[in-house]
């Protein structure tokens, strides 16, 4: 049963960043290439595979598309890594299990973690007294961080290739590998990942539950959260970058202008 539990724990993580790159679980296992045997994944001590991991954030940082957080729970401290997420010191985070890695070296951070849990996005986040209600206003999922209560309404761009975010999703098959123009509000920016800046824009169209209200854009340009921008780039349908970076719709090599 313990062997089965460990296999289940490992299967929770689709890919892990090793020395700043992304590798499959198989290559991170001892004797199967990739990370050395000392970096083997196993069910964490003190946790059954699939059990919740929870604690208060006492230290956090982001690098290479991942957010690292040191959680403290009843005096026990545990490092966790998750897809890049906005968290603050003092928040309470809850994860539905994960996989533990020993002697993990992060090239982008320049440090080695004696042991660290790799998890999916937190299933629950609650704010701290220091941050007041702000921490609780953020929703985490599908790699989007935006004030949940904000109502976005941006006028559609003009021109023959102009579309709303919802239209981009709806017409993605016919627009595959074609130039599109979209105007929207920046709700998230992840800079310097795979030599690109990843910008999420929304214009108020689409359905959040169906995930048709958000558009991911890659660009060499830069914008900040809250900017209203016009994006011009090539649309790709079902683009797979590997390492878990797969998008049903994405606009690549875009110019981003206010």
pLDDT digits (tens, 9 = 90+) for 59-84: 888 877 788 999 999 999 999 998 88
133 and 31 in a single domain? The answer is yes
Distance CA 155, CA 164 (A): 9
Structural domain includes residue 159? no
Structurally, the chain folds into a number of domains equal to 2
Q: Give the global pTM.
A: 0.48
CATH number, residue 232: 2.40.50.140
Q: Which range of residues forms the domain containing residue 245?
A: 165-257
137 and 170 in a single domain? The answer is no
20 and 131 in a single domain? The answer is yes
Nearest residue to 111 via CA among 63, 51, 183:
63
Distance CA 93, CA 84 (A): 14
135 and 174 in a single domain? The answer is no
108 and 223 in a single domain? The answer is no
Helix (H) or strand (E) holding 147: strand 144-147
193 Ramachandran zone, left/alpha/beta (phi>0; psi -120 to 50):
beta
pLDDT digits (tens, 9 = 90+) for 10-63: 343 334 443 333 333 323 322 222 333 333 333 333 343 447 899 999 888 887
């Amino acid at each position: 049963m313990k062997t089965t539990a460990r296999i289940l724990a490992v299967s929770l993580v689709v890919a892990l960043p090793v020395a700043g790159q992304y590798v499959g679980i198989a290559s991170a296992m001892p004797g199967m290439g990739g990370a050395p045997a000392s970096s083997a994944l196993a069910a964490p001590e003190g946790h059954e595979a699939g059990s919740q991991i929870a604690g208060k954030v006492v230290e956090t940082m982001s690098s290479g598309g991942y957010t690292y957080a040191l959680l403290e729970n009843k005096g026990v401290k545990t490092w966790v890594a998750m897809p890049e997420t906005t968290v603050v010191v003092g928040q309470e985070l809850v994860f539905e299990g994960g996989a533990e890695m020993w002697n993990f070296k992060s090239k982008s951070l320049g440090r080695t973690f004696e042991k660290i849990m790799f998890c999916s996005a937190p299933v629950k986040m609650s704010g701290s007294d220091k941050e007041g209600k702000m921490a609780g206003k953020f929703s985490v999922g599908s790699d989007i961080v935006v004030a949940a209560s904000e109502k976005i309404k941006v006028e559609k761009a003009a021109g023959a290739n102009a579309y709303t975010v919802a239209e981009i999703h709806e017409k993605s098959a016919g627009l595959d590998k074609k130039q599109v123009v979209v105007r929207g509000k920046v709700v998230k920016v992840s800079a310097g990942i795979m030599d690109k800046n990843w910008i999420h824009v929304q214009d108020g169209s689409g359905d959040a539950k169906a995930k048709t209200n958000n558009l991911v854009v890659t660009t060499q340009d830069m914008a900040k959260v809250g900017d209203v921008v016009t994006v011009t780039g090539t649309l790709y349908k079902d683009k797979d970058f590997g390492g878990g970076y797969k998008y049903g719709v994405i606009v690549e090599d875009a110019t981003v202008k206010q």
